[in-house]
Structure 1
Amino acid sequence: MRRRRLPSLLLGTLLVGVAAVAVTATGAPTADAAPAGTPPTASPTGAATTITLITGDRVITDGRGGTAVERGPGRAGTDFVSQTIGGHQYVIPADALPLLQDGRLDRRLFDLTTLAEFGYDDRSGELPLLVSYPGSGTKKAAAARTASTVAGARVVRDLSSIGALAVRADRAGRARLWQSLTGGTATARTLSTGVDRVWLDGKRTIDLDVSVPQIGAPVAWQAGLDGTGTTVAVLDTGVDATHPDLAGQIVGMQNFTSTPSTDDTVGHGTHVASTIAGTGAASGGRYRGVAPGAKLLIGKICGDRSCTESDVLAGMAWAAPQAQIVNMSLGGGDTAGIDPLEQAVNDLTAQYGTLFVIAAGNEAASPVGSPASADAALAVAAVDSTDQLASFSSRGLRVGDHAVKPDIAAPGVNIVAAKAVHGAGGTPAPVAGYTTMSGTSMATPHVAGAAAILTQEHPGWSAQQRKTALMAAAKPTAGVTVLGQGAGRVDVARAISQTVATQEGSVSFGRQPWPHTDDAPIVKTVTYRNDGPDPVTLSLSVQTAAGVPAGAFTTGATSLTVPAGGTASTTLTADTAVDGPDGYWTGYLSATAAGGVQVQTPFAVDREGEGYDVTLVHTGRNGAAATTRYTSIVNLDTYEVIYEWTTNPTPVLHLPSGRYGLYTWINGPDTDPTRYSSTMLVQPAFVVDRPLTIQLDARLAKPISVTVPKADAVPTLIAINATWYAGPGKGAVALSTPAAFAGNYVGQIGSDEPAPEFKSSIGVSFAALTGGTVRNSPYVYDLVWFDRGGMFDGLTKAPQPADLATIESTYASTGMPGEDGVEANGGRLAPSDTYWTVYVPFELPFRRTEYVNTDGGVGWSSTFMHRSIPAGSTYPVTMYQSNEPWQTYLGGRTYRQSWNQAVFGPSSTSPTGPADWLTRTGDVIQAGVPMFADGTGRPGNSNVAATRVALYRGDTLLGSVDKPVGQFTVPAEPATYRLEASATRAEPSTLSTSVSGVWTFRSGHVAEETPQRLPLSTVRLSPRLDELNEAPAGRRFDIPLTVERQPGSSAGRTKRVSVEVSYDDGQTWRRAVVTGSGDHRVAKVSHPNAAGFVSLRVQADDAAGNTVAQTVIRAYAIS
């Protein structure tokens, strides 16, 4: 059998897909919104971001939902799957799927959203990775951790604590690294160099006069326990070592970040450190920490509000041998299984006896984050000053095994602690030198301080003993379940006086599958230890949360005597056969004794709702069992996605009852064993209300065949798209395959009854082949067809000229070194729908004929990117991007489009409808004027070196930001405001190298919650330039200009317009004659004889008194 390979014609071709899979109910990405983590240099209209994957494949997102894929060196023929799950878009090359199946790769390596949020796009230059080896901590593992195993990357840190290397792979080296890791085998399930797993070196986020007494710390102080003799490590954003509250408290500091020092420029670490062991010196003792006698070890692992995982791991390994307690007020999303940080928590705890106290997370109803989810971690939730659960505090149970998490709670709302002198975080506190913060980050140091006090009392105790003692002494709040508070709010006063605790801390019964009539009781042992000198007799009872039926949980004894210095055990039984509602059943095993002893042990079981076994039978086109297949099931009630990516051809899934959709991608030999096949099967909807067997037989699918009028056209893309949509945040799955019709199949299985939330599409593209490449093809075909309610059973199409719209497109040059262009047309039924298309690059200037089909209600949008390929590089950089909005065309008609045409300058309009470029909501003004609309009026995004937005009230500066969008709080009273915005384009841009604008307008308080659009006008300059964006030198020249207003604003009619021109980049200016009236004027200038550039300065005012002044340096060239 030979694997089908892409012909050489695809060299230099890009694949693009938009919003491939959005299958959760958490809210769909907005098409016009920039992705999270967009750098400050991005345009307010969204900017292109390029990410080179670990495989060497380049992915381009255009900031409006569009995604392009350019195959890396030597990777012609690679298939791709694109999905968007829970607002995170993934692009996964086919040869990575087997390794993902086998658990060898971190899925985040292909998560575009996360990579962009972490700043791991191509502007960062290097991709941080964690490469782990089997046998952590052994000599063999240490010997295996060599640079030769990661060829194409450089080693930056040996993380011996988890048996891993932290490496960095630059763009050029990633394809080589992938080759080194996989041996170039597309079906590899193990990593070829003896590497166990490859993780993304991701980032975690940093998640007292009232709060310290709230947990009983003063009682401990009165007993002479303040943490003296203990060391608490704070792994955070550093510290302000000059703060009076921390004088003499710090015994060591280490910087693990790329920042120059351990100084805290965020303020988070200082706040945390002083909550643990601050002396309160700057407040007369008012804001003393929980354990002021403890000493602090400061590890700076977060350079800002995010913390690179390799820095976190290095800090943990450094701190664990030196400190009895490690405070980590940080975290990230948890997944089933054990990630490197969780592994490090467990391993370091076992090795050194260090107790890791970790924030549960600030994701409200979402599960407790990692690494608080580690078994050994003491995971801390947040409560307010009345012990009520904080709204932001993450909840349990743990992802995957449904174990009890969080473990404990502590005050975390409006906590006052030391303010770092250079820290920007927090809100003002009653006393200078302090700041107020909220979060589980603030709750965690309360527990760490409590642990320090307990460690002082019991210096020989293990981490588990201290953890369970704190949990046993915690105070649960009535009406708050185990899911939110764990054992309850920490009570250090009880912890130091009470001698009885459980060895387990909590009891987890896991998930019990439906049906429950035959459920056998689950029995767990609970062992109490007594560290006191006298025996203690405990009275045992079960207290359950509201809704848990009587008899669901029982204890083996109602009374238990625990001998002095010994242990005694009983049982706790969960009986999910008891009639009651499905869901989480939680409660506390309460043990009380004379002298105020109260031990609360949280427990939980997940009583699964109605569900059935679904057997999936995968069969290849050759009739054999299919093991190279990737199946996902979408719950159409919750839009949860269930992955079934194992190699088992007949897996059995246990699914809750309800409606589902299913898709599978089966690869393998065709009916002709010498040919490779790729098949997509979809079952748009089915109901799980009984046990099911679903036959996923690739032989049921049919081929795809499309022909176009031009005989020399060759296919450049085949994209199969399946979409489930039932509201915001619910969506689709897409498969991009190599551009060869032979071997590609598609089909629907199951009922033919239409599924109302489902639709599918097949997109194909063609271009002309010249010299083995489609670069500079004089034409392209972009075609797409849709099926509402069902999946295609194959496709045969032969569109004729009368079925096609013709778009004659002109792409101008700016004379930028190393420039080229790419443009893509995407077909959709509506602007928010999904599409796939292909970018075909061309030299500039360029003219191209583009054909699109018009049947079936399809509409088209277009995206152009102006790129520069730096000398000595093969990686183009997107310097400018603009978009044509979605529109429908008529078959047999010809349309014309002009792209990349100067002058590039400010815009107050939007071709897609009204946009909020300058608004006021209440007393907040937001400003983000697009600074690089092209000469046709399309707002564009430019790669810029610097940008600034500033707002003045009269002559008083209210604030400024070095990013394209600013928010400013202003007084309620009406006043005249001045907005200034400027942007300098990055090199090697040649036109509109510097653009600035100044606007004046009046504004007062806005009572409505809907943003009010403020009067904003811009002037669009549209000189008639050639395809090089040049005008003739030595001649008189007319520059048409149009005054445009932000739609929906109160901008008045145009009164006066003046224009000045400069031929020396703005050093000197001369006034131009302006003719015309109203919004349309013409500036008349005289070009000098010498070649060069023309700069323009224009001013306008309106009848309402609003003004605008725009300056564009090097607006166009003359020759």
Structure 2
Amino acid sequence: MVAAVTTLAIAATAAPASAAAGSHAPTAAGTGAASAVGATRTPGATDRTPRTVTLITGDRVTVGAAAGDLTAVTVRGPGGRASGARITTVGTDTYVYPDAAVPYVAAGLLDEDLFNVTRLLADGYDDAHTDRLPLIVSYTDAAARSRTQAVPAGAERVRGLESIQGAALTARRDRAAEFWAGLTGTGPATTRAKAERPGLAAGISKVWLDGKVRAALADTTAQIGAPAVWSGGNTGVGVPVAVLDTGVDLGHPDLVGRVAESASFVPGEEVTDRNGHGTHVASTIAGSGAASGGAERGVAPGAELHVGKVLDDTGGGQDSWIIAGMEWAARDQHAKVISMSLGGAPTDGTDPLSQAVDRLSAETGALFTIAAGNSGPDMQMVGAPGAADAALTVGAVDSLDRLAVFSSRGPRRGDNGLKPELTAPGVDVLAARSQYAAEGEGYYQTMSGTSMATPHVAGAAALLAAAHPDWTGSQLKDALVSTTKITQRYDAYFAGSGRLDVSAAVAGTVFASGTVFTDLDWPYAPGQRVDQEVTYTNTGDAPVTLDLRVNAPTAPAGLFTLPAGQVTVPARGTSTVVVAVDLDLLADDKYSSGMVVATGPSGAPSVHTVVGINKEGERVDLTLKTRGPDGKALAGTVMIKDIVRDVVPRLYPVDASGTLEVSLPPSTYSAWMYADVPGAGGPYSLGRAVLAEPEIELSRDSTVTLDGRRLHRVEAIAPQVTATAQVRLDYFRSYPGRYPLADNYVVGHEYDSVWAASTGAKVSKGTFTFRARWSLVQPPLAVTANGQTFDDLLIQSGSVAFPDGRQRLDAVFAGQGAPADYDRLDVRGKVAVVRANDAVGALDQADAAAAAGAKLLLLVNNGVGRLDAWYEVADPRTPLPVASLGRDRGEELVARLGSGRTALTVEAHHAPEYVYDLVRRYNGAIPADLSYRPTRPELARVDVAFRHHRSGEGVGLRFDVSPDQPHSALSGAALPIPTQGVRTDWVTADQHNRWMELAVMPELTQTSSVVSYAGGERTDVTWFAPVARPRVLATGLTSPPVRSGEEVVVFDLPPWGDSDPHHQGMPSVAGFTQTTRLYQGDQLLAESPGGILSAPVGPDPVTLRLVTETAQDGAVLPYSTRTRTEWGFTSAPAAEGGTATLPLIQVDYQVTTDASGRAGRRAELTVAPVRLGAVAGSAGIRGVTVELSYDDGVTWQATSLSRTTDGWRTSLRAPASATFASVRTTARDGQGNTVSQTVVRAFGIR
């Protein structure tokens, strides 16, 4: 069993974040003039000196003095010509929008502050102060998943900002126009067409100004009203607040004396915060501000902190650590408030973390304030444990109450529940910095994220708890949520009820239910209404009458109504108001929200409640009947996938009745199950079957039968006798515009046959592919008796190999296989046959057989299917060769033995001499004929040679890559391979199948490129033969070196590859050292103690040198003890922001050697330089030279070369004393790319 470990990521981003201060620009334009002189305030100018700002578009805005108090703003294009632009003033800020930028601003692709000239000047971003414009970009999901994100020409990457799926860039002012063209993918001829459909290039989804927001904690505490509470003497004194995070810096001045208790729940780590996140959070809640003279106090500086370290120094943690910390905080420390700035993947609130929140809240009355997460702006991204019902889940806003782009939005997954409940300041929050953190300096640092918003709410809850010590966590939550500052522009599913306002919560005497949510299941009656109850609580000494209204701008009109417009709440009592929801007004499978606003007399502050409704759409009943080959009910597990909607497939159990009833939305579904069925070998054999209906149109209640009476055997019959090493079934279903489904099933060892039910007509929506993949091999062990072959033989895991070859041995039946069963038997040098049983374990049976001198042990299964008795044993080992027989064939053998002496012919081929890797693909439906009988002419033949210098054994695998899953290489069986030997492989050859191989020897691993074959093709493949040297493949398990934007990236430069041009060594090979360097001229750009590096190289084509040196002591390989390879090449950016493989010339070698890697003294050596990704012998290669050395490179001999179809050939002239040959090769191509490669001790000399 594989253990599942959940890692939780801290819900914070690196500072500074992308939110900006200043006013939002209006949607309407201003004057539209190219230059203007008007009665505007000087934008950000403190003197009269004209200042110029080059905008992101390359347009230059100059702000300077005119007559009197007037300010002149002029705009010129990149070339100096007057530029069309909109100059708009908003309050004290002036915006300049060049015409080219307007469509992008309107589409929300560019931050308005990029054109806020007032702010640009105030931040010192004019041309006189900086030659670069700092930017923050976010990337699309696809771009963010790539290893490197593209950077448009004219800009440089500063750092990644993973929390907002982006990066910080700086755009060079002198190349601003080039940057704009690269950012937008526009040029003079395409600008207008592009502007009509604006979109950003290079995988960028939006660009912001990386502004100097000068945020401080003093500002964020003021933003939520904390100083007003402090002024009344309430600082949260005595309220225990737990912080579950990365620990704390107990020596920070702001936290000295503030932490009452601390504990670490991270194995092997103390509570000390070496990450910095936990210290920042703790001081936001209750820091004293001592290091800033009291200026940077936390929200509740009098609260008592209890710090639990539940995340390790990298910021990650396991569920169990966190739950242990929660229990400690709630039960042991009796914390009133528990702050958790962490989160996992989005859930429906039924995960262990969320359940722990709900249960501990109910048990202890604690309030858990939890970060919503930083996975915005996508919907349904609130993670665990913030998905818990009881959690007060917090989103993040900036200083202007604008929702942060990274703040995770709701609704909650599953039921579309209302999450988050509120927001708080979480952008550029200044708080204490741990002295143990690697980043930053001084006592304070800024961070951004919902992690930073959450402690604001925790501190506010502490202040409220100090004012109402008898309140439960639920009451604290309702009071905080119902008294927020309403942020009108955001729906409740984005930002909850509004931004935290602790002064209103503490000062008020009336609060309401924070949220009321109803999740309704179908069906509904026409005209049906649902009543939601909102409760108002009055803590004052006098009754309060509240005026009520519904504010639901995003809901259908009339969806939420109030029967009464007022409610009176008695003194120190409660009143309940009913909100009526008209279900007819909400479409099926939709959710909506509104707000009930209650205003007190004489304009007294209002309280409000978010109301939400989720209306399940129409459901129809699908009855699935599962039937076996005999027509009887078949138990198993069915998977059902809605192929039209992007929802995850779901597994459903089917009990012995063979009937499954599920209620589903009308749609198109695919359903399939894998089930045990009778095998092909008799009543005790076991088969595995797939029964499927790839297309179920479900528009009304329907019954569908997965019918085993339509089963047909899925088999491949090779031209030679084979045994099945592995079978895999691939089920692929797709629909346009939706994520496809691929279900790959590897059939287990216990099955002797595989079956599938035919499905009838082909699908009419999307695509469906059923695919079978076989690994068939020369039988590793075959046993026959008088012409009968026992073909269900299964070698046991960990079994000693039976000697290769054919032997004739007598067989003896030894009952249960106990030592006593051998007392009167002579099994020495014979085959012992025993029954598997519960009384004598398999290992004891093997020990007894070995002690009696048996040469082979055959276990006859006493159950159904094929038996591997050592299958679940860790590191299994047997004292003699052991195989099992199924009960049907095994009992036949026992019967033979009971009737007299029986001789068995035993033939073994531990490492097969022939292999069939076969694939059969069925499109649209599963047919009735599932038997694949390939002939040799339709297959490709691969003659494989293994040329390791030592005798022994390794493991080989062949992967297949299907067009349905082009990014997945799926493995066939792992087969024994000889270190020295040959094998003939036959593989399916057509355009739908590609192959890749892996060969593993002791301490050495080789992988191949991805190749395809043609029918009848014959190919030679050699593994581990000299000459080993650094070798890069264009396709395979590792990526080739590339140019990505302004960066050269070497993902993994393998230190070696054998003589085959389609092979490369896997990285981190034991015994090897490697150093890689990148140069521009003589300037070192990057250096790596391995094969991975990257370096910025600018936006233009550039000539570079890539050098890698390897060394090894000969313990693993006696050859290629030292190599040096230098590639010279010209690199240019790829078109349209993509990547371009570097034009590195590879050098391949061919030399005939013996099994130990030694060549004759007059052997021929062929050298074949080839461009990466090209074919050998490409005409572009020229200027090839080869030098040979027989004294490990002390002296070199030039050679004469002859051109052949394979490359350039020379002959060795090794002296009698030579034991090794070294090779030095140079080559160039027509584009000026070069290679120089030296291999010391390239191969041996005999």
Counterparts of 1:972-1011 in structure 2, within 5 Å, are 989-990=1116-1117, 1009-1011=1136-1138
Find the aligned partners of 1:785 and 1:360 in 2 and give their Cα distance.
47
Q: Which amino acid aligns with 1:216?
A: G
Report the alpha carbon displacement of residue 723 of structure 1 after superposing the two structures with TM: 1.1
Aligned with 1:355 (options 367, 389, 393): 367
Is the aligned partner of 1:826 residue 2:960?
A: yes
Provide the residue aligned with 1:454 in structure 2: 464
Q: For structure 1, which segment, 721-730 or 686-695, has the greater mean C-alpha deviation from structure 2 after superposition?
A: 721-730
Partner of 2:540: 532
Q: Does 1:341 align with 2:353?
A: yes
Corresponding residue for residue 211 of structure 2: none
Cα deviation for residue 832 of structure 1 reads 1.8
TM-superposed CA distance for 1:507, in Å, is 1.4
Q: CA offsets per residue over residues 1010-1057 of structure 1, 9 Å max, x none? A: 246486535425252547562259x57776544444569xx9977686
> Displacement of 1:660 after TM fit?
2.4
Would you say 1:861 and 2:995 are equivalent positions? yes
How far has the Cα of 1:281 moved from its partner?
4.7
Q: Which residue of 2 aligns with 1:408?
A: 422
Cα offset, 1:509, TM superposition = 0.8
- The CA deviation at 1:368 is 1.3
Q: In the TM superposition, what is the alpha-carbon distance from 1:981 to its structure 2 partner? A: 5.5
Check whether the contact 1:618–1:627 (CA below 8 A) recurs between aligned residues. yes
Q: Deviations over 1:713-763 (max 9, x none)?
A: 222333322211346841322333246886532123364455551122223
CA–CA distance in structure 1, aligned partners of residues 558 and 640 of structure 2: 39
TM-score of the pair, normalised by structure 2: 0.64
2:221 paired residue among 212, 215, 225 = 212
SS of aligned partner of 1:683: strand
Map residues 221-300 of structure 1 onto 2, 5 A cutoff.
Answer: 221-258=230-267, 260-282=269-291, 287-300=296-309
Distance in 1 (alpha carbons) for counterparts of 2:719 and 2:756? 24
Q: What is the CA distance between 1:592 and its match in structure 2? A: 2.1
Q: 1:473, 1:599 within 8 Å by CA — same for their partners in 2?
A: yes
Q: Is 1:399 aligned with 2:421?
A: no
Q: Return the structure number with greater relative CO, CA threshold 8 A, min gap 6.
A: 1
* C-alpha contact (below 8 Å) 2:1038/2:1052 kept by paired residues: no
Matched, 1:564 2:571: yes
| Match of residue 588, structure 1, among 586, 592, 595 | 595
User: Aligned pair 1:311/2:321, yes or no?
Assistant: yes
Rounded to whole Å, the distance in 2 between the matches of 1:581 and 1:1062 is 82
Instruction: Within 5 Å, give how 1:1016-1035 maps onto structure 2.
Output: 1017-1024=1144-1151, 1026=1153, 1028=1155, 1030-1032=1157-1159, 1035=1161
5+ unaligned residues in a row in structure 2: which ranges?
A: 1-138, 150-216, 782-793, 796-908
**Structure 1 residues 107-186: aligned runs within 5 Å:** none
- Which consecutive residues of structure 1, in runs of 5 or more, have no partner in the other structure? 1-25, 37-207, 869-877
CA distance in 2, matches of 1:277, 1:1093: 72
Q: Does the CA-based 8 Å contact 1:944-1:986 persist in structure 2?
A: no
Closer/same/farther in 2, CA of residues 720 and 927 from structure 1, 3 Å limit:
closer
- Tell me the amino acid that sits aligned with residue 327 of structure 1: S
Given the superposition, is the C-alpha separation of residues 387 and 299 from structure 1 closer, same or farther in structure 2, using an over 3 Å criterion? Answer: same
1:920-1069 to structure 2, matched below 5 A, reads 920-921=1044-1045, 923-931=1046-1054, 932-938=1056-1062, 939-944=1064-1069, 964-969=1091-1096, 989-990=1116-1117, 1009-1011=1136-1138, 1013=1140, 1017-1024=1144-1151, 1026=1153, 1028=1155, 1030-1032=1157-1159, 1035=1161, 1040-1046=1166-1172
The answer on whether the counterparts of 1:522 and 1:575 sit within 8 Å (CA) in structure 2 is: yes
Cα distance in structure 2, aligned partners of 1:249 and 1:307:
25
CA distance 1:649–1:1089, change in 2 (3 Å):
farther
Task: Give distance in 2, aligned partners of 1:1116 and 1:288.
Answer: 71
Preserved CA contact (<8 Å) 1:1072 1:1085: no
> Corresponding residue for 1:390?
404
Q: How does 1:28-43 map to 2 (within 5 A)?
A: none
1:686-705 correspondence runs (5 A): 686-705=696-715
How far residue 492 of structure 1 moved from its aligned partner, in angstroms, is: 1.6
How far off its partner does 1:370 sit? Answer: 0.9
Of 949-958 and 250-259, deviating more is: 949-958
Rate the CA distance shift 1:911–1:704 in 2: closer, same or farther, 3 A.
Answer: closer
Larger radius of gyration: 2
Distance verdict in 2 for CA 1:242–1:955, change over 3 Å: farther
Q: How many angstroms does 1:307 deviate by?
A: 1.2
- The TM-score with structure 1 as length reference comes to 0.71
CA distance in 2, matches of 1:983, 1:319: 54
AA matched with 1:781: Y
CA distance in structure 1 between the aligned counterparts of 2:1185 and 2:253, rounded to whole angstroms:
60
* Paired amino acid for 1:642: R
Is the 2:940–2:1013 contact (alpha carbons within 8 Å) kept by the matching residues of 1? no
Cα distance in 1 for partners of 2:711, 2:352 equals: 42
2:587–2:615: 8 Å Cα contact kept in structure 1? no
SS in 2 for 1:942: coil
In the alignment, which of 641, 644, 648 is matched to residue 652 of structure 2?
644
Report the CA distance shift for 1:403/1:797 in structure 2 as closer, same or farther (over 3 A).
same
Matched residue count:
894
**2:638, 2:671 within 8 Å by CA — same for their partners in 1?**
no
Structure 1 residue 597 and structure 2 residue 611: aligned? Answer: no
Matched, 1:776 2:911: yes
CA distance in 2, matches of 1:473, 1:959: 56
Secondary structure of the equivalent of 1:842? strand
1:896 aligned residue: 1020
Counterparts of 1:1113 and 1:241, CA distance in 2: 57
1:724 to 733, 745, 751: 733
2:635 and 2:1198 mapped to 1: Cα distance?
A: 75
1:369: Cα distance to partner? 0.8
1:622 aligns with 2:630: yes
Query: Matches of residues 1091-1102 of structure 1 in structure 2 within 5 Å?
Result: none
Q: State how far apart, in whole Å, the 2-side matches of 1:977 and 1:1019 are.
A: 16
> How far apart in 2 are the matches of 1:743 and 1:472?
64
Q: Cα 1:1082–1:645, aligned 2, differ >3 Å: closer, same or farther?
A: same
Which of 797, 803, 814 aligns to 2:932? It is: 797
Q: Could you tell me whether the CA contact under 8 Å between 2:236 and 2:301 is conserved in 1?
A: yes
CA offsets per residue over residues 240-283 of structure 1, 9 Å max, x none?
A: 44544444434444333345544444332233233333344555
> In the TM superposition, what is the alpha-carbon distance from 1:929 to its structure 2 partner?
4.6
Please tell me whether residue 378 in structure 1 is matched to residue 502 in structure 2.
no
CA contact (8 A) 2:668 2:696 kept: yes
- Give the Cα–Cα distance (whole angstroms) in 1 for the partners of residues 650 and 1000 of structure 2: 40
Question: Is the CA contact (8 Å cut-off) linking 1:914 and 1:1046 kept in structure 2?
Answer: no
Counterparts of 1:689 and 1:999 in 2: how far apart (Å)? 63
Q: 1:715 to 1:944 in 2, by over 3 A?
A: closer
Contact between 1:784 and 1:827, CA under 8 Å: does it hold in 2? no
The match for 2:342 is 330
CA spacing shift, 1:794–1:1019, aligned 2, 3 Å: closer
Counterparts of 1:286 and 1:1098 in 2: how far apart (Å)?
A: 69
Structure 1 Cα separation of the partners of residues 142 and 770 of structure 2: 20
Preserved CA contact (<8 Å) 1:906 1:1018: no
Query: In 2, distance between residues paired with 1:327 and 1:1062?
Result: 71
Paired-residue identity, %: 32
**8 Å contact from structure 2 (residues 238, 304) kept in 1:** yes
In structure 2, C-alpha distance between the alignment counterparts of 1:567 and 1:994, rounded to whole Å: 84
8 Å contact from structure 2 (residues 242, 305) kept in 1 = yes
Q: Do the aligned residues in 1 keep the contact of 2:591 with 2:615 (CA within 8 Å)?
A: yes
Alpha-carbon deviation of 1:212?
3.1
CA shift at 1:848, angstroms?
0.9
Distance 1:700 1:883, change over 3 A: same
State the 1:1087 CA deviation: 7.4
State how far apart, in whole Å, the 2-side matches of 1:973 and 1:895 are: 42
Alignment partners' CA distance in 2, 1:754 and 1:349: 51
Q: CA deviation at 1:917?
A: 0.8
2:420 aligns to what SS in structure 1?
coil
